[in-house]
A and B are shown apart, each in its own frame.
Chain A
Amino acid sequence: MTDTAADLPQHARERLQGLRDTSRRGGIFTSDFSVNEFLMVSEAGFEPLGLVVGSCIYHTGIQYAGWAKNQEMAVLSQAMYEARELAMTRMEQEAQSLSADGVVGVRLEVKRMEWDRDILEFLAIGTAIAHSKGHPGFKGPEGKPFTSDLSGQDLWMLLQSGYRPLALVMGSCVYHVAHQGMFQSLGNVGRNVEMPLFTQAMYDARELAMERMQKEAQEAGAEGVVAVQLHEGSHNWQPHVIEFFAIGTAVKPIEDAAVIPERLIPQIVIPVND
């Protein structure tokens, strides 16, 4: 696969070219914005360039865990992380070749393949946007486009609160939960008791996923992480193997006084129709 924007195939470049140049005949933007989202992205001072996408089909390695042991499945953790990272990087390449400032509304999906339980597809898709007046202060780390799973409305809101998005940050931990021994299970029959091995496994896996996400944000130079979601799932693995996945948008205060929005005092409203 390609490593830089310049290495993108001809057809991808043509598609992206057509998107960027709206003055040209046939030059349009594409996006999966809703009407509200489109309006709010414009209100925030940005314009959509085009849908950008990256995918990665990944064969996960093999790892065995001790039957009665709580432990991280490091091979699987790494696989889940690396494959997502690859899909994201490919999406970023497309955004870069559009000279985008960022990508919003990023969805990161994992799908399993019917024919092989070790093969997973990772998909990253979002809408590349650019500042309408070409303001340079919105790029992400290392001058690359920022990435975020926030919607257009949330982007506007984030800028209003004095922060700008840097990068979609994530942490993954695939964990094997110990099986309870026969004697331990029999000893507890009919009792109301905590099962500490299981409790600890959940705690540890969650802690590792959160810690990794936080570390990634730290490395991106973020002050904080918003809209964090904690997912857990088993991607067709053996029983007792689960993934904890933390994902959120790393943010940083806006430095440039020229683009700091006017202080917005939120007014608390109560929808009366729900």
Chain B
Amino acid sequence: MSLFGPPGGRPQDDAASAARQAAWDEALTRGTVPAFVKQRLAETMSGKRPWVTTASPAGLLAQRSHGIRPLGLVSGNCWFQFGYSWTRGHYEGWHTALDRLRLEAGLMGANAVVDVTLSVRRMPGTENEGHMDYGVVGTAVRLDGLPESTNPAIATVSALEFARLLESGIVPVGLAIGAHYDWFVATGYQAANAASFWNQEIAPLSSFLTRVRRQALQELRDDGVRLGSGVLAHTQHTELYRVEPDENNPYVRFLARYIALGTAVLHDSRSLRPFGVRPVMNVRDSRLLAATDTTKEVL
């Protein structure tokens, strides 16, 4: 192999590369994926190419016991510029990425996508330019006995937890997102709070942060209502910054953002099946973790 020049096995052909780009451009504009992706998904679905799963081998047991069969990895992403609204940006960015993931899963006839992980990505050197990538990856699965689906359920839980929910009569149906971002201009804040010697609440900030959280949780709820009857929210994250005055802004400002993500479920609390509790020893070293446990990955 030559180090300096196009490698032999995989020629870097400019024309082929340009054709690939054009295919992506055309497909994403039309809300689909290029022919070569469709082919890979179809061949994976039919068993011509190996199936792929993010699950550990324990997940394969669920295939025998619960008829949850892995198909392949599906993904979606959306690089979004939030010019005027971080809140809208987060909402649209995540939902576009999820729609694309759902599309790939639908092309495989999947009934659900489990173990969906979310992550954001910023381009090095452009961290403050107000744009980032919203990416989602998960494992498309078929449930034995169900017909192929074009609108699969999306869940951040693993195949095993998916099975656990189903066993209890709870159906995971999608991903609910609540995100809110707001500014607070602290007029009069300095005079009222900065120079005191006694304990006191900084009431304006408390109410500001509470409002941001409540609005995000309201959005989470609204998103949940559209999808199912409940949300198991497992990722929540808040940030609060103080920004000093500058020539355009005479007052100290505060910036708060809050994001909450969760799996939306459909259930009827009257028909929840009870189960016995029995002590066991866990032979895994690590805990079984939720898909997105580290909140810094989603902000």
Task: Report which A residues bind B (CB closer than 8 A).
Answer: 34, 36-37, 40, 59-62, 70-72, 74-75, 77-79, 82, 150-151, 153-155, 157-158, 160-163, 177, 188-196, 198-200, 202-204, 206-207, 210-211, 213-215, 217-218, 222-230, 232, 234, 239-240, 246, 248, 250, 263-266, 268-272, 274
Q: List 21 A-B contacts (CB under 8 A).
A: A62-B4, A75-B6, A75-B12, A78-B1, A82-B1, A154-B57, A155-B57, A161-B63, A188-B81, A194-B78, A198-B123, A200-B28, A214-B44, A225-B50, A225-B53, A230-B137, A240-B123, A250-B50, A266-B160, A268-B164, A271-B282
If A203-B77, A218-B49 touch, does A70 touch B21 (CB 8 Å cutoff)? yes
B296 interface contact, C-beta 8 A: no
Contact residues of B between 267 and 294, Cβ < 8 Å to A: 277-278, 280, 282-285, 287-288
For residue A58, give the distance in angstroms from its CB to the closest CB of chain B: 10
B167 interface contact, C-beta 8 A: yes
Contact residues in A for B12 (Cβ distance below 8 Å) = 71-72, 74-75
Cross-chain contact of B53 among A222, A226, A246 (Cβ < 8 A):
A226
Q: Which residue of chain B lies nearest to A249 when distances are taken between CB atoms in the complex?
A: B57
The answer on a CB contact under 8 Å between A193 and B160 is no
The answer on a CB contact under 8 Å between B123 and A78 is no
Stretch at the interface among B84-92, B178-186, B253-261: B84-92
B61 interface contact, C-beta 8 A: yes
Contact residues in A for B10 (Cβ distance below 8 Å) = 74, 77-78
The answer on a CB contact under 8 Å between B124 and A227 is no
- Find the residue from A150, A160, A189, A207 having the highest chain B CB count within 10 A: A207
- Find the residue from B21, B29, B88 having the highest chain A CB count within 10 A: B21
Given contacts A194-B78, A224-B51, 18 further A-B contacts (CB under 8 A): A74-B7, A77-B10, A79-B3, A160-B57, A162-B60, A163-B57, A192-B88, A192-B92, A195-B81, A199-B28, A199-B78, A202-B79, A203-B24, A203-B77, A210-B52, A210-B75, A228-B73, A270-B277
The answer on a CB contact under 8 Å between B287 and A274 is yes
The answer on a CB contact under 8 Å between B7 and A75 is yes
For residue B252, give the distance in angstroms from its CB to the closest CB of chain A: 24
B144 interface contact, C-beta 8 A: no
Q: What is the bound-complex CA distance between A34 and B3, given in angstroms?
A: 41
Q: What is the bound-complex CA distance between A88 and B5, given in angstroms?
A: 25
For residue B293, give the distance in angstroms from its CB to the closest CB of chain A: 11
Contact residues in B for A264 (Cβ distance below 8 Å) = 61
- Find the residue from B12, B55, B59, B63 having the highest chain A CB count within 10 A: B12
Chain B interface size range: 35 or more
Interface of A is mostly: mixed
The answer on a CB contact under 8 Å between B124 and A210 is no
Contact residues in B for A198 (Cβ distance below 8 Å) = 79, 123, 131, 133
Q: What is the bound-complex CA distance between A272 and B277, given in angstroms?
A: 9
Q: What is the bound-complex CA distance between A265 and B75, given in angstroms?
A: 31
For residue A56, give the distance in angstroms from its CB to the closest CB of chain B: 14
The answer on a CB contact under 8 Å between A37 and B285 is yes
Cβ-closest 4 pairs across A and B: A198-B79, A158-B57, A61-B3, A161-B60
B125 interface contact, C-beta 8 A: yes
The answer on a CB contact under 8 Å between B77 and A202 is yes
B25 interface contact, C-beta 8 A: yes
Cross-chain contact of B20 among A204, A240, A269 (Cβ < 8 A):
A204
Contact residues in A for B84 (Cβ distance below 8 Å) = 190-192
The answer on a CB contact under 8 Å between A224 and B280 is no
Contact residues of B between 38 and 58, Cβ < 8 Å to A: 40, 44, 49-58
Interface string of B7-38 (1 = CB under 8 A from A): 10111100001001100110011000000110
The answer on a CB contact under 8 Å between A157 and B61 is yes
For residue A148, give the distance in angstroms from its CB to the closest CB of chain B: 10
Contact residues in B for A266 (Cβ distance below 8 Å) = 58, 61-62, 64-65, 160
Q: What is the bound-complex CA distance between A154 and B75, given in angstroms?
A: 25
The answer on a CB contact under 8 Å between B50 and A224 is yes
Q: Which residue of chain A lies nearest to B96 when distances are taken between CB atoms in the complex?
A: A194
B251 interface contact, C-beta 8 A: no
Contact residues in B for A150 (Cβ distance below 8 Å) = 56-57
The answer on a CB contact under 8 Å between B59 and A226 is yes
Contact residues in A for B277 (Cβ distance below 8 Å) = 270, 272
For residue B142, give the distance in angstroms from its CB to the closest CB of chain A: 13
Q: Which residue of chain A lies nearest to B5 when distances are taken between CB atoms in the complex?
A: A75
B80 interface contact, C-beta 8 A: yes
B121 interface contact, C-beta 8 A: yes
If A62-B4, A224-B53, A239-B124 touch, does A193 touch B167 (CB 8 Å cutoff)? no
Q: What is the bound-complex CA distance between A194 and B70, given in angstroms?
A: 31
Contact residues in A for B28 (Cβ distance below 8 Å) = 196, 199-200, 203
Q: What is the bound-complex CA distance between A40 and B96, given in angstroms?
A: 43
For residue B54, give the distance in angstroms from its CB to the closest CB of chain A: 5
The answer on a CB contact under 8 Å between B85 and A224 is no
Contact residues in A for B5 (Cβ distance below 8 Å) = 75
If A193-B83, A195-B80, A228-B73 touch, does A158 touch B137 (CB 8 Å cutoff)? no
The answer on a CB contact under 8 Å between B80 and A188 is no
